[in-house]
Amino acid sequence: MHGEKIAVLSFSFLPALALLLPLLGALGAAVGGERRPRARNWSAVLSTGGTLAVVACAAARVVGSGPIYFQLGILRLGERFSCGLEVDAMGAFFALFASILWFAASLHAFRYMDHEHKRTRFFLFMLLTETATLGVFMVQDFFSLYLFFEAMGFSAYLLVIHSETPRARAAAAKYMGMTVIGGLSLIGGIFLYLGYAGTTSFRPLVESAWLTGPFKVAALVLLIAGFGVKAGMAPLHIWLPDAHPAAPSPASALLSGVMIKAGAYGILRTVLSFLQTPAAHGAEGHAAAAHGAESAVHAAGGLAADVRMLGFAVIWIAVVTMFIGMLLALVQRDIKRTLAYSSVSQMGYILFGVGCLGYLGAEGAMGMGGSLYHIINHAFFKGCFFLAAGSILFCAHELDMFKLGGLWRRMPLTTMFWCLAALGIMGIPLGNGFVSKTLLHHAVLESHHLAEGARLATAGWVKAAEIMFIITSGGTIGYITKMTYYTFFRRPDPEHASHLEHVKEAPAWMLAGTGLLAAGVLFNGLFPGLLLRRLVGPVVGTVPGLDVHYVEHLSHTPIFLWANVKEIFIPLGIGLGLFLLGAWPDLLGVRRRGPDLFRLRLPRWLGVDFWYLAAARNSLRLLFWGRRTYAPVKESVVSLSKRAASAAVHAVRDVLYPSLTLRPASWVSRQAVQLYGSARRELLPRIREYQGDIAVGALVIAVSLTLFLIMRLM
């Protein structure tokens, strides 16, 4: 039995007001400028706080009464308007946590930006980016999402390059290059989706070939790659470890806590387009059932198998993403760079739940619930981490964890907030990460049970994915314990202790932003049942195509059971073992002998950047490979062009000009009409015949120019 609810839209000004308030705040920040810094800062705080209140009201109304809309009517596509605002339960969920994080970041930035330059520009583009990001979550078609998605990406460029140092410029150039590539991939996938789904809406048309045709694979690859660039999905994550450390800490919290979730949101919408089966397919299934069980199985099997393979592919993309991010975070020394690679890894957990949703199909409520719960959890604990790192930089002027130490005595509140976030991300009971990781583990167990019961060939691979999930969770405990110990609890080295003597606690504004997110970590960990029943469960329940019994099971899943708690022991053993393997000389106060795990320098060829640059160079070489073969062709083309130009000059000089001067205008007009008709009859069929080749050629040229640009920028 599947819950297929008919959504009744109601008109509301709340979506438009949610986008208008950050715009007004940006205007206020620009008017305040450097001459009225407090007015500028207050404009940011009040506008983000007001936006949070409006989005909270909208979310309460959507969850309680159904979707709301506000028709902008600014762009018309065919017979309907696009870019209208429409908020469903899932969009409201994403908009709510985004607004919370933006408000916390603005509180933190109130004092943090005092030592930065071009503060007005920062607040202006921080608020413009909020408008674009909320727009991503408040539309119901891929084309409108694309417009807001690209606006979000280009606005955030000014946040990444803010400091304008060589490091920031290089990071921003890489970010922009990947944004352009992701945008090209995304718009290509949207056009394919439009061609085969019959609409840009998240739900395909009944008569479309999207669910049954062979064309969806190319569209899926382009859509997932386009969204995956922003999501930090491996191997498209190369911009993220450079952009996060380069940006100011409030911006890093937004990049990690919200913007990469916009990519996950797009991937989730793409996967759900398969589960939202149109009524016609359901009718076909019922008709088949009436004619016999065998035909019913045949009718339903194709789509279910396609969705399952899509979910399986996303599961393993997630496994690779989470493991690579964890491995690279383990060997970093810069706090913000460690947190950036951690964001890559945590995005793997979110995609893991999306993959389980696709693999389980109608029974995938647990996978979607775990993914949504981890999305809001990651926003809280990773935002808290980045804001705490900003406080450390503001007070100690250092982010190299090996040059810090003993900060728990000098920054006790920051230390407490950091430790709460650490308990959350490590998945320790009573931390919020324990809840979402428990749900994700249940989802992969259900996937394996389904695969074994149906005797699928992928059953062993799903079990391997579960093992990698546990290993990665252990590695997460390892690098978080390392970072916490070296930054806050280890006795600082004598050569680095002098600059830490005068460190004091962060200002109250910065503590307020960090503390707000730390409170979210604690609340989500202590009261999981409340969040599951009141927010996550109702959001999952609004998705057409999911079995209502599994949604109900998700909403009432018990978390604090011994069977769930004991699952943390294996990752805890792996994580503490890794920490002791790397930190034992510092713990025992002895001199290290042999390699240092925590200061390990990986060879360049293990980095994805190395292979991107190699691919770009080789692609450019390929364009010029065989120039000796093409030289005669080029000479023939040039010679033919010269002869054609000479003939054109002769025709104008000896035929057209005398005709215009000696013959009547009516004769000239008839000749021109005949010439136009003849050209149209001859050329249009040729253009139609070769339009696919022309399009492919244009795409090759665009990709080649993009690769050339990336190589120059990198």
Helix ranges (DSSP H) in 291-364: 293-330, 335-360
Contacts of 273 by beta carbon, 8 Å cutoff, 6+ apart? 193, 197, 202, 203, 204, 210
Q: Report the pLDDT value the prediction gives residue 113, as an integer from 0 to 100.
A: 84
At residue 435 the predicted structure's pLDDT band, cuts being 50, 70 and 90, is very high
Q: Whole-number mean pLDDT of the chain?
A: 81
pLDDT at 413 over 90: yes
Q: What is the mean pLDDT of residues 350-363?
A: 89
3-state helix, strand, coil in the chain (%, to 5): 80, 5, 20
Q: Report the pLDDT value the prediction gives residue 617, as an integer from 0 to 100.
A: 66
At residue 164 the predicted structure's pLDDT band, cuts being 50, 70 and 90, is confident
Q: What is the pLDDT of residues 496-551, one digit of tens each?
A: 677 777 888 888 989 999 999 999 999 999 999 888 998 998 999 888 878 889 98
pLDDT at 299 over 50: no
Partners of residue 77 on adjacent β-strands: 80
- Distance between CA atoms of residues 68 and 89, nearest Å: 10
Question: What tokens were used for 377?
Answer: 């959890």
- Distance between CA atoms of residues 200 and 196, nearest Å: 10
Highest mean pLDDT among 24-38, 142-156, 407-421: 407-421
Q: Report the pLDDT value the prediction gives residue 569, as an integer from 0 to 100.
A: 93
At residue 702 the predicted structure's pLDDT band, cuts being 50, 70 and 90, is low
Q: Report the pLDDT value the prediction gives residue 438, as an integer from 0 to 100.
A: 94
Q: Report the pLDDT value the prediction gives residue 652, as an integer from 0 to 100.
A: 66
Neighbours of 61 (CB within 10 A): 17
Q: Report the pLDDT value the prediction gives residue 688, as an integer from 0 to 100.
A: 57
Q: What is the pLDDT of residues 652-664, one digit of tens each?
A: 666 666 665 555 5
Q: Report the pLDDT value the prediction gives residue 613, as an integer from 0 to 100.
A: 67
Q: Report the pLDDT value the prediction gives residue 483, as an integer from 0 to 100.
A: 93
Alpha carbon separation from 554 to 78, 431, 639 (Å, rounded): 41, 19, 73
pLDDT at 616 over 90: no
Q: Report the pLDDT value the prediction gives residue 104, as an integer from 0 to 100.
A: 92
CB 382 within 8 A of CB 346: yes
pLDDT at 690 over 60: no
At residue 212 the predicted structure's pLDDT band, cuts being 50, 70 and 90, is low
- Distance between CA atoms of residues 50 and 14, nearest Å: 11
Q: Report the pLDDT value the prediction gives residue 664, as an integer from 0 to 100.
A: 58
Q: What is the pLDDT of residues 186-196, one digit of tens each?
A: 888 888 888 77
Q: Report the pLDDT value the prediction gives residue 205, as an integer from 0 to 100.
A: 76
Give the residue, 707 or 335, on which the prediction is more confident.
Answer: 335
pLDDT at 275 over 90: no
CB 252 within 8 A of CB 341: no
Positive or negative torsion for Cα 317, 320, 326, 329 = negative
Q: What is the pLDDT of residues 543-574, one digit of tens each?
A: 887 888 998 999 899 999 999 999 999 999 99
Q: Report the pLDDT value the prediction gives residue 277, as an integer from 0 to 100.
A: 54
Q: Report the pLDDT value the prediction gives residue 278, as an integer from 0 to 100.
A: 44
∠ CA 566-570-572 to the nearest 5 degrees? 95
Instruction: Identify the three-state secondary structure at position 139.
Output: coil
Q: What is the mean pLDDT of residues 69-98?
A: 74
pLDDT at 217 over 70: yes
Q: Report the pLDDT value the prediction gives residue 283, as an integer from 0 to 100.
A: 39
Question: What tokens were used for 647?
Answer: 């003939």
At residue 94 the predicted structure's pLDDT band, cuts being 50, 70 and 90, is very high
Positive or negative torsion for Cα 390, 433, 98, 133 = positive
Q: What is the pLDDT of residues 438-482, one digit of tens each?
A: 999 999 999 999 988 888 888 899 999 999 999 999 999 999 999
Comparing 50-54, 67-71, 417-421, 709-713, the range with the smallest average pLDDT is 709-713
Q: How far is CA 423 from the centre of its chain?
A: 24
Q: What is the mean pLDDT of residues 242-253?
A: 86
At residue 612 the predicted structure's pLDDT band, cuts being 50, 70 and 90, is low
Q: What is the mean pLDDT of residues 149-169?
A: 86
pLDDT at 689 over 60: no
Q: In what order do the strands lie in the sheet with 68-70?
A: 10-11, 68-70, 85-87
Instruction: Identify the three-state secondary structure at position 277.
Output: coil
Rg of the chain on CA atoms, in Å: 29
Burial (0-12, 13-18, 19+ Cβ within 10 Å), 58:
buried
- Distance between CA atoms of residues 389 and 112, nearest Å: 11
